[in-house]
Chain A
Amino acid sequence: MLDLNTKKIKKNAFRITKQRDKTSIRVRIPGGQLPAEIIPTLYEIATKYGDGKLHITSRQGFEITGINFENMKKINELISPVIEKLELPYGVQIDNPKEGYPASGTRNISACIGNRVCPYANYNTTELARRIEAAVFPHDHHFKIATTGCPNDCIKAHMQDFGIIGMANVKYDPYYCVGCEACVKNCKKRVVGALEMVEGKVVRNEAICIECGECVLTCPMQAWSRKEEKLYKLVIMGRTGKKGPRLAQTFIQGADEASIIKIIQNTYGYVDEYIDRTLPKEHVGYIVDRTGYQEFKKWALKDVKLPKEAKVAEYIYW
């Protein structure tokens, strides 16, 4: 006989499944990176209490399947070292890790491999994802957030409520430019064609440049380089789902990290105000559809001090 509070179970990162007596647990891996030493813990849970399988979730977590509901308490104890290694050291406030994940609404912050490995990435996506995790988790509101290193958007930031895309924040020193045109040709072929040769040196059309950093990668002289300050493009309200799936649109070009974190935090207040409480959960994007972008923007930008380079979208039509 099972007598369960499904709402409580779900908030504890367990799932209601097809099979009446089975659940599964979703393990968060903020930033998509885990020390390999965690694998034996997952292995132990899966082989002793699950069906011996690990599902890699689309948000870069692990779902350990085939767990009996009665073992949830035990699983929470067993999973606590993962929380202690992947959440607490990065500043995530979880009072009692032995009780498992305290929330599941705000999803794992996923990240492309970022500049630890990838030459294209403009920043360390995992580290930013962990800092965002610390700023927003645990929380029950259904938020999907991902960080990606460059506009290639390998993590599909455009499918998130908040997608953070690294910008190169480029600078150009004409003295070092030898006029080889490598950047110009490459930008035309592979990016947006924002570069042009004028009298032996390069002129950048800032209106169309997406700051991907291809010019920096291509330049044999490092006449192109990145400024030290990191800037990001924040795209918002992309989603999959049955009702109106769509790509995220650019909210801010040239935002800094502090502003982005503040904007996401502000959005929790906005959701509190406007969420349809008759539903078990509601994606932020549907709420924005209801209130309009301007109302969202008003809430999101409250007390946010954007860098002077930042450009905020006047209107967004998804």
Chain B
Amino acid sequence: MSYEITNIKFNSYLEKWSRDYEIYGPVKISAGGRFSDTDNIRYEKIKKVEDIEYKEKSIFSAKEVLFPVTETLFNIQEEQLNEPVYDKKKYLVFLRACDIHAIDRIDYIFLKNGIYTDPYYKRRREAIKYILIGCKESFENCFCASMGTNKTDNYSMGIKFFDDKVHIEAKDPIFQEEFKEEIEIEFTPDYVLENYYNVTIPSVEKLDFSLFNDEMWKDYAMRCISCGRCNFSCPTCSCFTTSDIYYKENPNNGERRRVWAGCQVDKFTDMAGGHSFRTDYGSRMRFKTMHKVYDFKKRFGEIMCVGCGRCDDRCPEYISFARCINLVSEKVNEDHEEVK
């Protein structure tokens, strides 16, 4: 069931829900961008609908609601280890279809990868509800239609923003109950059918090791600067690194902390003894590409990349990951023809 609700009214709902939920949405951070007088858009707690930046694509994805950038796993106090207090809040997150699909992808890593699940991720994941932000038009660099992530049914509410009101579809009975006094309308969230750029996914069956030493990676070796913006803005990158921190004042106290890591960035492949592989940036690009379109699919049955295009939005060296996937697809087809 769908409703039209004024912003003022919707804000009173948000205020009410904030008693039970931490409410997150894409927020414009004024002057927070890379260049002066530019903004950042990242996921933060919101209080009112006006806090949400819905006209532009967020620079960072919604994943950090579930997977904080820096997280203390436990505190070390002399002989004792204590987990940080975790208040059992629920999460309500405004996000787009691609990011909802992306969380499904991250689930494979944190929840369905072998016999262990990640409890830190899991407790948040189980307490999250989605409010789908519809996309009327594709943003630049999006290729969700190619990846089949342009649409989803996996949401509690779907929303469309106007200047002074919202149209909202409530699928979750809890929220249908909330809105029972509101005027019903016909509404389902928008989704795009096409993007400005299309990506062809390489066939996993045809991909083989011949691509490993392909010339195409040498081009990226020259171009990539290994900054990791593609990793950190990617809604499906879920790598982290864990380290024990000893406090200066008392080295018997400290914490075990995990922070995001990225396969494009230095130190990612550092090993005990100082050995490091994938030192050239082309091989990192290859590794990332293969993981996104090949290895992940082989292991979990789905392409990892959801086509949000944030990597292309942000790459300071103008490397297009979308085009890289297409290049791989062309190579795979080429090789296939040669076999014939």
Contacts and interface: CB of A to CB of B under 8 A. Distances in A.
Interface of A: 115, 119, 121-124, 149, 166, 168, 174-182, 199-200, 213, 216-222, 225-228
5 contacts: A123-B37, A178-B259, A178-B262, A222-B42, A228-B30
Contact of A225 (B29, B70, B245, B266): B29
Nearest to B35: A119
A218 to B, nearest CB: 7
Contacts, number: 84
Q: Say whether chain B's binding surface is mostly helix, strand, loop, or mixed.
A: loop
A259 B265 CA distance: 43
B276 interface: no
A199 B40 contact: no
Given A115-B35, A220-B232, 7 more contacts: A119-B34, A177-B69, A178-B70, A180-B227, A222-B32, A222-B34, A228-B30
B31 A228 contact: yes
A182 B228 CA distance: 10
A124 B37 contact: yes
Given A200-B243, A225-B32, A179 B227 contact: no
A226 B259 contact: no
Contacts of A178: 69-70, 228, 232, 259-262, 265
B70 A174 contact: yes
A218 B226 CA distance: 11
Interface residues of B, number: 33
Nearest to A175: B70
Interface string B231-259: 11000000001010110100000000101
A246 B262 CA distance: 48
Given A200-B243, A225-B29, A179 B259 contact: yes
A177 B70 contact: yes
Contacts of B30: 228
A115 to B, nearest CB: 5
Contacts of A177: 69-70, 259
A115 B229 CA distance: 22
A121 B36 contact: yes
B34 A217 contact: yes
Contacts of B229: 220
Contact of A222 (B33, B228, B241, B265): B33
B37 to A, nearest CB: 6
Interface of B: 29-37, 40, 42, 59, 68-70, 227-229, 231-232, 241, 243, 245-246, 248, 257, 259-262, 265-267
A220 B42 CA distance: 13
A177 B245 CA distance: 15
Contacts of A121: 36
Given A200-B259, A217-B34, A182 B227 contact: yes
Contacts of A213: 36
A225 B35 CA distance: 9
Given A115-B36, A221-B232, A222-B34, A181 B257 contact: no
Contacts of B33: 222, 225
Contacts of B227: 180, 182, 218, 220
A261 B24 CA distance: 42
Contact of A221 (B68, B69, B245, B248): B69
B257 A200 contact: yes
B31 A225 contact: yes
Contacts of B31: 225-228
B34 A216 contact: yes
A176 B36 contact: no
Contacts of A180: 227-228, 262, 265-267
Nearest to B228: A220
Best-surrounded residue of A124, A149, A180 (most CB of chain B within 10 A): A180
Contacts of B267: 180-181
A123 B35 CA distance: 9
B225 to A, nearest CB: 9
Nearest to A230: B36
A228 to B, nearest CB: 5
Contacts of A175: 68-70
The 10 A-B residue pairs with the shortest CB-CB distance in the complex, in nearest-first order: A220-B229, A228-B31, A225-B32, A220-B228, A115-B36, A122-B36, A178-B260, A199-B245, A220-B227, A178-B259
